[in-house]
Chain A
Amino acid sequence: MKKLCLMMVLMLIMTSLFFIGNVQAEKGVTTIRVWDREVLMETTVKMFNQKMEGEGKSIRAEFELIPYAQQVSKFMAALAAGNAPDIYSLDLIQYPYFTSINAFRDITEEAKALPYFEELPQQMLKLGMREGRIYALPSSIDLSCLLWNKDLFKEAGLNPDKPPATWNELVEYGKKLTKDLDGDGVTDQWGFALAGASGGAYMFWFLPFLWSNGGAMLSDDGTEVLFNSSQNIEAVQFWKDLVYKHKIAPKSSINWNSGDRYNAFVAGKLAMFLGGNFNILSLEKDAPNLDYGITFIPKSESGQFSSFAGGNLIGITTQSKYPEATWEFIKFYTSGENLIEVWAKQGVLPIRPSLYENKYFKIRPQYMEFAKFLPVARAPYSAKYNELYDPMQYCMEKALLDQMSAEDAVREAAEKMEKVIK
């Protein structure tokens, strides 16, 4: 009996330990909580704390890593429970919604007072704005692009330094790069692969095709659906043709996620692949001998180059009680010290183009290419963005699996999107 009692007491103690959550033991120190989906932010936080200590300021930051899949759900839960973080570096595409529910602080004056305000990428800044007021600043950039395997180009008799610039060239080169190497009737090497498997992938890699042809998904302010247009139908048809007509992309690539495409590229089975700046460091590790290049996503004959401006924006939540301390952090974050020594060092594009010429990028010239993409990159603005993934994915899949014509797919997608936006 006594043993049982003892066990129960022990268990009770263990249980009650879980009631003891975060105990802010430090008195007199302002602790700000920073959330980010990027692991690198932890280094920034450490550097910030060191700097604050060095300057004798009693501000400390605390970092929490948010898994990519839980960016929104965790934030929603925290907002509703009243314990949102002080600072959140969140996918820029989510900001229109969160600014509409007043989750982030208005930092217009402070932002404009920054000496480098003018060089911040406007199309990213726009996503953190509402009615002319600024609620967040760009914190990291992701741009979509085309990577090509120079060795495979050489083997196919193509100029390894001249990637395809237009849709026609993509098809032409792709045909030469799609081969059945062992004569068993099955293609072993593909010239190209579609980017699908998720709504996000279609947004990041398909929209630039659409945009380069003059089409659009939404109007600039996100209030109108412009998806049902002949330019868009052409773009969808082009992707379909890549699989069925020109046969330079495997049908299975419709279900490939980024990992699958990346693996195929690394294994030398894919000559040209849709990727982004985040592939560069991994390629260094996984395929150090692969000679590759980075270029724009091919545009239609008469169109303009385009790219998707993805990445994060960093903002101060309205629930934060420390407007000065948090601004201190944002200032530090956007300083050259942080952007270069922490982020550029690990291959993340600094959000201030003037910092592109830094020592880390000098040894990896591929990054300089991205400076070219930024001016033509854009991102759609909508508070209901999350609900647009579904119609996009549904209709792209229906069209690409040849279960629907391009026209029907585009029309249906537009109808569904209109229902969402309404």
Chain B
Amino acid sequence: MTKNKSILDRLLFDRFHLLERPLYKNNLMNIKIENRCLQSFIFLLPVMLFAIIFFFIPFIKVVYMSFFKGAILGESVFVSLDNYKVLLEDAGFWRAMGNTLIYTIIVTPIIFIPAVFLAVLLNKKIKSVKFFRAIYFLPVTISFVVASYIWNWIYSDIYGILNYLLRSLHIIDNPILFFGSTWLARFSVSIMVGWKTIGFSMLIILAGLQGIQQILYEAASIDGANQWQKFKFITLPLLRPTLTFALIISVAGSFKAFDHFYIMTGGGPARSTETIIMYLQKIGFEYYKLNYAAAISVIFLVLLLIISALQFWAGRFNE
């Protein structure tokens, strides 16, 4: 099985050559090596400047800020772990965490199961596959803002087409308030996110599928395996690295959810769909408690890191 390198491995590790030292004995070439260092440095300078000013320094600053109080208006006062202590007892914060977690748990299968299905469906050598692939990918290209408004309009209880269809088919009598109750709101938003993201996950899984060699399936056919057995014993295990990878991205994305909740539910009903980033934005940019928001940012960062690492470890573990 080790011969069968996953597409992930190939892309990451095969190109990653370590330093190649030219074995020239010519002195001129040796001078060129030093020049190369300087030139390299100049070529890299703009990128490094951006990275340092707008990434690394803020990265350090956010941790630093979380230990203070009073930024923007007024003097900054050192308060050590105070912000974190308040955080532990902040019902709003924990609620936001819970909401984000629940949402992630709901939306991930809504994205993945259809994505796997579609990827398997499109894993054929028919020409029109490219066309359908593009269709399913279309929602990925638009913004979450636009997608949210399109679906708000579909979900509307007064003018919405969905309620109309359901009522015409006599599936329901009264219009459904898609954002009227906690769980329904979560599912309604998740369905929209599913529509929007399935195409993306499908692509990744499709790439993974195409890395599995046909010979394996043919050998299994000879052994008398049926479609489902082939899927279970060949496809799934070989797809595991790709699935893990796609999962990590998807979960990370779900944790960062903001746009669609901001627009579709505003965090409601009763703060049940307010995600951690929404909470962060509220504390930082509506209440202007910047240091407290910095503490929330730090916790968020750590959390995301842990979850991604856990997923990575769990995925590797079963190889």
Which A residues fall within an 8 A CB radius of B? 72-73, 76, 79-80, 101, 185-186, 197-198, 251-252, 254-255, 260, 263-264, 386-387, 390, 393-394, 397-398, 401, 403
Contact = CB atoms under 8 A, between A and B. Distances in A.
B72 A76 contact: yes
Contacts of A251: 177, 180
Shortest beta-carbon contacts, A-B, top 8 = A397-B270, A398-B270, A252-B157, A252-B177, A397-B269, A80-B72, A394-B271, A394-B270
B39 interface: no
Interface stretch (B192-200, B207-215, B243-251, B283-291): B283-291
A255 B177 contact: yes
Nearest to B181: A401
A397 B180 CA distance: 10
Given A197-B268, A252-B175, A390-B282, 10 more contacts: A73-B286, A76-B72, A76-B73, A80-B72, A251-B177, A264-B158, A390-B271, A393-B270, A401-B180, A401-B270
A76 B269 contact: no
Interface of B: 72-73, 92, 157-158, 173-175, 177, 179-182, 266, 268-271, 282, 285-288
Contacts of B157: 252, 255
Nearest to B287: A387
B211 to A, nearest CB: 39
B259 to A, nearest CB: 15
Given A252-B175, A254-B180, A255-B179, A397 B287 contact: no
Contact of B266 (A197, A254, A260): A197
A264 B38 CA distance: 70
A263 B73 CA distance: 42
A411 to B, nearest CB: 15
B270 A79 contact: no
A254 B180 CA distance: 8
Contacts of B174: 186
B177 A386 contact: no
A393 B268 contact: yes
A185 B174 CA distance: 8
Contacts of B268: 197, 255, 393, 397
Contacts of A73: 285-286
Contacts of B72: 76, 80
Contacts of B266: 197-198
Of B158, B180, B271, the most chain A CB neighbours within 10 A belong to B158
A401 B265 CA distance: 15
Nearest to B265: A255
B180 A185 contact: no
22 contacts: A76-B72, A80-B73, A101-B73, A185-B173, A186-B174, A197-B266, A197-B268, A198-B266, A252-B157, A252-B175, A252-B177, A254-B180, A254-B269, A255-B177, A255-B269, A263-B158, A390-B92, A390-B271, A393-B270, A397-B270, A398-B270, A403-B182
Nearest to B92: A390
A252 B286 contact: no
A197 B270 CA distance: 10
Contacts of A72: 286
A101 B73 CA distance: 9
A101 to B, nearest CB: 6
Contacts of B177: 251-252, 255
B60 to A, nearest CB: 22
